[in-house]
Amino acid sequence: MQVNQKGFEPVGWTMALAVFASCLLLGGCDVGHGQPPAQTSIPEVATVTVQAQPIQLTTELPGRTSAHLISEVRPQVNGIIQKRHFQEGSDVKAGQLLYQIDPAPFQASYDSAKASLAKAQANLPSVQLRASRYKELLADKAVSRQDFDDAAAAMQQAQAEIEYWKAAVETARINLGYTRVTAPISGRIGRSNMTDGALVTAYQVIPLATIQQLDPIYVDVMQSSAELLRLRRSLDTGRIKAEGEGAKKVHMLLEDGTPYSHEGTLQFRDVTVDSSTGSFILRIVVPNPKHLLLPGMFVRAVIQEGTAAEAVLIPQQGVTRNAKGEPLASIVDDTGKVEQRKLTLDRAIGDKWLVSAGLNPGDRLIVEGLLNVRPGATVKAVPSALDSPKAGADASNAKQPPAAKN
């Protein structure tokens, strides 16, 4: 073994290492020569089996509440408000006294009309007796025909004057009654726009107060005319079956998303489509015994469309889209190869898509491992956790409308 001058480093080992490194860099060494290349593994994908099942189709529409009845209280005579007889924000009954307008001038007018009526009635007997006597004397030609005609006319005039004053008394009585401003409907009254001592005029623009009936309450929701046409086509083709009177029941969701404790009833669909929005109004009557819903509140209505007997629901993660935005799905065929299908989607129900066309019951839809496969590739399909019976039961419960609490 050779030793250099600076120490005892073995020169032979250094040369051997250099030769081995050159062999690796130049690829001259046949290390592992004769071993077979590693085989490419078949990608594994998770699938769910497409099944047809009956589901109840609903549509969720936004809307706002409005009072069942609204009455703006206005005075019907001129005068000064003497007293307000209600508490703002309280419930009032129909006929309850709300305001008292100073009745003194109207009482005087009523008394004057009654006096004039009494005067006319007191004058009538003498006029009638005169006309009666002149009639008898006319038969004996003791009076002229002109005198008799004048007496008969005076009697008719007295009778007409009595009728006039009767009407005047009734008018005065009505105006006197109008000094008591009462509630025309039962409901909850808002703030008062007039205070004691304020001068009001008959049928003024500003109401004294507003009464709103809140139980039941209306919910007006907007539905597009395109959705209505789609629903009617589905009903005509038999894809959806209506449920009769049960279809009129509507579940409500409050602003925070919580279900409302009472279900409403669909009252009518408007017959006119708004040209600016392309939608029309659906009116729903909703019980509101605790006055939880107030006019102008935003709510969402879950309206029943019907039942689809052979509906196909698939997980949303099993749907991709191409460059045009068209929905696609990949399935595993009987030979274990990937096949791509173009889908027609109806709507999202929970975490699933309702498929109108593109898939058939029994197809194995790929929901996991889509990034590792391409159309035509051979794959190994294993059942997904989403295909378990428990997952199917959870999905079935998720697509039902929220239950109403009694």
Residue 10 pLDDT exceeds 80: no
Residue ranges per structural domain of the chain: 49-66+214-398, 79-102+180-206, 104-177
Quick one: which of 175, 168, 129, 166 has its CA closest to 151?
129
Strands in 20-127 per DSSP E = 44-49, 52-73, 79-84, 91-92, 97-101
Residue 59 pLDDT exceeds 50: yes
Mean residue pLDDT across the chain: 82
Q: Are strands 327-332 and 338-342 parallel, antiparallel or unpaired?
A: antiparallel
Task: Note if the pTM is more than 0.75.
Answer: no
Q: What is the mean pLDDT of residues 274-285?
A: 84
Structural tokens at position 268: 């009518």
Q: Is 70 left (phi over 0), alpha (psi -120 to 50) or beta?
A: beta
Confidence of residue 110 (pLDDT cuts 50, 70, 90): very high
What percent of the chain clears pLDDT 70, i.e. is strictly above it? 82
Query: Between residues 211 and 358, which one has the greater pLDDT?
Result: 211
Q: What is the mean pLDDT of residues 351-360?
A: 88
Confidence of residue 239 (pLDDT cuts 50, 70, 90): low
Write the pLDDT tens digit of every residue in 291-346.
899 999 999 988 877 777 788 888 988 899 988 899 999 999 888 899 999 998 88
| pLDDT in the model for residue 11 | 44
| pLDDT in the model for residue 29 | 45
Domain 49-66+214-398: top CATH class: mainly beta
**CATH fold label, 104-177:** Helix Hairpins (1.10.287)
Whole-number Å distance between alpha carbons of 341 and 328: 6
Confidence of residue 245 (pLDDT cuts 50, 70, 90): low
Q: What is the mean pLDDT of residues 59-71?
A: 91
| pLDDT in the model for residue 278 | 82
> Which residues make Cβ contacts (< 8 Å) with residue 110, sequence separation at least 6?
169, 172, 173, 175, 176
Q: What is the mean pLDDT of residues 267-293?
A: 85
Write the pLDDT tens digit of every residue in 144-198.
888 888 888 988 999 999 999 999 999 999 999 999 999 999 999 999 999 999 9
Q: Is 242 left (phi over 0), alpha (psi -120 to 50) or beta?
A: beta
| pLDDT in the model for residue 243 | 62
Quick one: which of 233, 264, 271, 237 has its CA closest to 61?
264
Q: What is the mean pLDDT of residues 118-131?
A: 88
| pLDDT in the model for residue 30 | 46
| pLDDT in the model for residue 214 | 92
| pLDDT in the model for residue 242 | 61
Write the pLDDT tens digit of every residue in 128-137.
888 888 888 8
Q: Is 266 left (phi over 0), alpha (psi -120 to 50) or beta?
A: beta
Query: Between residues 74 and 129, which one has the greater pLDDT?
Result: 74
Lowest average pLDDT, out of 245-254, 278-287, 324-333, goes to: 245-254
Confidence of residue 394 (pLDDT cuts 50, 70, 90): very low
Residue 400 pLDDT exceeds 50: no
Does domain 79-102+180-206 correspond to CATH entry 2.40.50.100? yes
